[in-house]
Amino acid sequence: MNIKDRYAPSPTGLQHIGGVRTALFNYLFARSSGGRFILRLEDTDRTRFDEAFVQNLYDTFAWLGVHWDEGPDIGGPAAPYVQSGRFDLYKKYAQELADAGRAYCCFCSAEALETLRKEREQAHARETGYDRRCRSLSPEEAADRKAAGESHVIRLKIPLGETTRFRDRLLGDIAWKNGDINPDPVILKSDGFPTYHLANVVDDHLMGITHVLRAQEWLPSTPLHVIMYRSFGWEPPEFCHLPMVMGQDGKKLSKRHGAASIDEFRRQGYLPEALLNYVALLGASYEEGKDIYTLQELSDRFGLDKLSKAPAVFDYKKLEWYNAYYIRMKDNEALARLALPFALEKGLFGAPGTSPDEDRQAAFTKAMPLIKERVSFLREIPEKLQYLFSDPQVPAAAEFIPKKSDLPKAIELLKLGRSLIGPVAGLDDAGAEGFVKQQAENAGAKLGDLMMPLRVALTGSRVSPPLFGSIRILGVKRSLERIDRALAELE
């Protein structure tokens, strides 16, 4: 079998974790089996449709590095891949079902349906949905009323008194009583617009979709889709309803749990590799004892047998761990490129948006090794490097004083540290540490006591990225200027 699957979002909102997980699993399944992965836009909900959401979809998957083989932006043999461009097809197939007696025209007005609903509500009736009153209309009467221009919809005939059975690749055999399905649902509206169910089934069939991988929330719709396939005389695709993605509280992942849209993750400074790696493990496992995978490795290993029936819990701490790992793995130039937009936004090189000159760009790149092990998000980088690009305020005198010491001793140590700046700037970390340690011993001081006032004078804080690397980036002149300014304040 030539496997073909799809991601078919409705462009009515920003791309979120749940949608990306569905798209990723479809992508990986197609790649692992040598099949084709399709993008289709299901834009029949015109009230909430927005082109901005379409662009967000394209931007999101370009950023993630997930590409489809056919889609609205690249075309393909089943074009168009946007449902609003396929309305004539849906009308044609809805009419075919009506002509075959497997669907029918319904002339009930919205007012009549609302009256029915209220009557049932007042009577506390168990029945819900449409009462099938137009199902018994003869074809001749229906044709006459249509010819007279009477407004109507087309409804699917749900076989009565039967059970619809299908197999789900993850959940196994499913049996659904037809009495529990929405009674004779509308498949074509009075304005000629299809409902989701008709468009979905027609498109999956015409596009040759062999496997439908989608969230378990769509499981109740599947019996209706299977009935529609059989009404057309078509073979249904294989279904696989993916495990839910839950928050730590056991409820479906949503905004209340934190960042949900991919845009928000990007703004917080997550890397695409981290998101892909982590999301690919939400409800799936690949190799015992292995956590880190490239997209290619995931593509090689994925299979429906790797999926779990149990809901997946989205753990932001675990994702943070992945992000920190991938930040550490970046080379300095690549990390600087990724961090630069955050630095510009924060105004690291002047006013927000100000680009660095050549010297500052070089210093920014050289500073990457100083913070790689100390950040989990790209957005943290500018704050941690602020001291390199603008002189920090001189802290209160108490910040310079080592434990069990006093201000005169701190000043003495800072003066000693000042004398070491020139030699330290020309040494690597190991050489600088050995040199300063020897000078501290010669002065009868602890290494930490000597380093602390020096660190505070140069960085404005007791806690900072590695000091020797900072001195090399600041240079001897700027380092001495900062120490002299601190000494002037302290003295």
Active site residues: 255
DSSP three-state, residue 214:
strand
- 10 Å Cβ neighbour count for 292? 11
Residue 403, both tokens: 């434990």
**DSSP string spanning 56-124?**
HHHHHHHHHT---SBBTTTB-TT---BGGG-HHHHHHHHHHHHHTTSEEEE---HHHHHHHHHHHHHTT
* Contact assessment for residue 395 and residue 490, using Cβ atoms and an 8 Å cutoff: no
Residue whose tokens read 């390199």: 388
Residue 149 backbone phi and psi in degrees, to 5: 85, 20
The candidate with the shortest Cα–Cα distance to 457, out of 384, 399, 402, 405, is: 399
What is 262-302 written as a DSSP string? HHHHHHHT--HHHHHHHHTTTTB--STT-----HHHHHHH-
Q: Give yes or no for a contact between 98 and 105, defined as CB atoms under 8 angstroms apart.
A: yes
Cα-Cα-Cα-Cα torsion 469, 473, 476, 480, nearest 10 degrees, comes to -80
Burial of residue 296 (CB within 10 Å: 0-12, 13-18, 19+) is exposed
CA angle 214, 216, 222 (to 5 degrees): 75
Residue holding tokens 């761990």? Answer: 321
What is the C-alpha separation between 286 and 298, in angstroms, rounded?
A: 8
- Count the Cβ atoms, other than its own, within 10 Å of residue 196: 15
What whole-number distance in Å separates Cα of residue 250 and Cα of residue 311?
9
To 10 degrees, what angle do helices 407-425 and 429-442 make?
Answer: 140
